[in-house]
Structure 1
Amino acid sequence: MMKELRLESVQIAYGAKTVLEKIDLTVQGGEIICLIGASGCGKSTLLNAVAGLVPIRSGSIVLNDSPVVGPAADRVMVFQDDAVFPWMKVRDNIEFGLKVKRIPPAERQRIVEEKLAAVELTHAANLYPRELSGGMRKRVDLARALAVSPQMILMDEPYGALDAMTKERLQVQFLKVCEETNATSLFVTHDIEEALFLGDRIVVLGRNPGHIAHIINVPFGDNRSIELKRSAEFQQLRGEVSDLIH
């Protein structure tokens, strides 16, 4: 189980251009931290650095007391674009990472059935991705990420291309799955409502170069439902976050 992710004085640069500077952030196990900010502020760059896909120029990224020096199975990413293998059935997509880890067949089957149920896709286990809706394919992405028991799930605008109703259904399901599995997530989004609905905390990044401008503790507790978005308190906080970004 994840204990802590620490980013200390992280700087990321491409040549002479500093993209992110003085990033200090601690994420506790079980937290959902949403990264939000104007385009070009470095949200995805920061996520990729935690994934080990982008090198840092200075500072440190430490997960459970071990420095992050590259990609590893303890961190998985879910992108906006579908990452399912189109030639594999849903069940096989979810099982893929378990085969790579050489999990015994009986244990693989147990885990696959568990994750299918978690994302409500048991009925679609033997379908191909082309037979699924966009929202269902995102659920396959999430189930495949959860199957390998990562320390962190790194979400890069995973629901950005979906319609509003599908997005809301997946947001509710994401919260449910994270609660059931005690998953820890860094979640990049442009959607203020999504950040407020999902996040335990919201990290607002500023630009030129990217930096942490504000950290907001979200006051809505657990067991959130879509009705929360219609509340006066939610909409007031949405306006305040919007002002901070702009």
Structure 2
Amino acid sequence: MKISVGYAFLPKQMSLRTAAVMDHFGVGFETGRHEIAEKLELPIQEGDVVCFTGESGSGKSSLMRAVAGELPGVVNIDALDLGEAILVEALGQSFEEAARLLSMCGLGEAHLMLRRPTELSDGQRYRFRLALALAQQPLWIMADEFTATLDRTLAKVVAFNLARHARKTATGILLATTHEDVLVDLQPTLHVRCALDGPPEVTRYERKKKASALATTCGSVVGPSPTGRISLGGITAVTASG
């Protein structure tokens, strides 16, 4: 797949101040365009976990959306209607399947499963969107600002669970994030690092079976225990030493 993404940044209506900016930076009408990627070769395959990273404003989200436009069966979690149903009833699955998906996304506690979307925090609603997308069993799932509303420990656990689900079901994942700390748990097959002042850097990895530093199971426990397990809002995380 070859992708070209860019945008014009000149104002539609000129003023003395906008003209001064153009003069100060040497910007002409023929150069008033920012290229994020030009004929960028992306070796994307079915079932890939593709992670776009970079600073804010580097174009990672724009590039990801352009890629999504070239792929079939993409579900954008930000476009999903959360509805008003209680979480455990909203997924359209059996109880066991609904509980598994909610737990995988950090919503496995009883007091969370029995809430409605309007009763959730921003981070919990984000995780519920992810569960809704997984329940649809799409070919591809797209998530912008992945885990931005989550604390970093929970973000890594959700990343690990999502990647594990993707490998088991051959679901393709498109993610954009400024947080590269999730890469070790996400284990992407394709990493696209965007830059403010240059072309994106593309790295493809062989599919790995190596376990993460955080192994996870569905369900939860109440507080820390001698086994090393800690409750993370519906996910039980087991540290490598636990």
TM-score under structure 2 length normalisation: 0.63
User: Structure 2 vs 1, CA of residues 226 and 109 (structure 1 numbering), >3 Å: closer, same or farther?
Assistant: closer
- How far apart are 1:77 and its partner, in Å? 1.7
Give me the whole-angstrom Cα distance separating, in 1, the residues matched to 2:134 and 2:143: 12
Instruction: Give secondary structure in 1 for the equivalent of 2:200.
Output: strand
Give me the whole-angstrom Cα distance separating, in 2, the residues matched to 1:109 and 1:221: 29
- How far apart are 1:179 and its partner, in Å? 3.0
Give me the whole-angstrom Cα distance separating, in 1, the residues matched to 2:203 and 2:123: 30
2:148 to 150, 153, 160: 160
Residue matched to 2:220: none
Root mean square deviation of aligned Cα: 3.0
2:196 to 207, 222, 240: 207
Instruction: Give secondary structure in 2 for the equivalent of 1:28.
Output: coil
The answer on 1:119 being equivalent to 2:136 is no
1:85 to 75, 82, 94: 82
Residue matched to 1:33: 50
Instruction: Give secondary structure in 1 for the equivalent of 2:77.
Output: strand
Of all paired residues, the percent bearing the same amino acid is 25
The answer on 1:13 being equivalent to 2:3 is no
For each residue in 1:209-244, what CA deviation from the matched residue of structure 2 results, as whole angstroms up to 9, or x when unmatched?
6x33241537863432328xxxxxxxxxxxxxxxxx
Structure 1 counterpart of 2:41, one-letter code: D
Residue matched to 2:67: 50
1:85-234 to structure 2, matched below 5 A, reads 85=82, 87-91=84-88, 93-94=90-91, 108-110=92-94, 114-120=97-103, 121=107, 123=110, 124-198=112-186, 199-208=188-197, 211-215=199-203, 217=205, 221-226=209-214
Task: Give the structure with the larger helix fraction.
Answer: 1
Find the structure with the greater CA-based Rg.
Answer: 2
Q: Gaps spanning 5+ residues in structure 2: where? A: 9-31, 216-242
Whether contact under 8 Å (1:31, 1:200) holds in the other structure is: yes
- How far apart are 1:197 and its partner, in Å? 2.5
- How far apart are 1:174 and its partner, in Å? 1.6
Give me the whole-angstrom Cα distance separating, in 2, the residues matched to 1:145 and 1:29: 17
**Superposed structure 1 runs of 4+ greater than 6 Å apart:** none
Whether contact under 8 Å (1:43, 1:188) holds in the other structure is: yes
User: Structure 2 vs 1, CA of residues 51 and 113 (structure 1 numbering), >3 Å: closer, same or farther?
Assistant: farther
Whether contact under 8 Å (1:78, 1:145) holds in the other structure is: yes
Instruction: Give secondary structure in 2 for the equivalent of 1:27.
Output: coil
Give me the whole-angstrom Cα distance separating, in 2, the residues matched to 1:130 and 1:116: 19
Whether contact under 8 Å (2:5, 2:38) holds in the other structure is: yes
TM-score under structure 1 length normalisation: 0.62
- How far apart are 1:185 and its partner, in Å? 0.8
Instruction: Give secondary structure in 2 for the equivalent of 1:197.
Output: helix
Give me the whole-angstrom Cα distance separating, in 1, the residues matched to 2:206 and 2:145: 19
Q: 1 or 2 for the larger relative contact order (CA 8 Å, sep ≥6)? A: 1
Instruction: Give secondary structure in 2 for the equivalent of 1:26.
Output: coil
Whether contact under 8 Å (1:11, 1:21) holds in the other structure is: yes
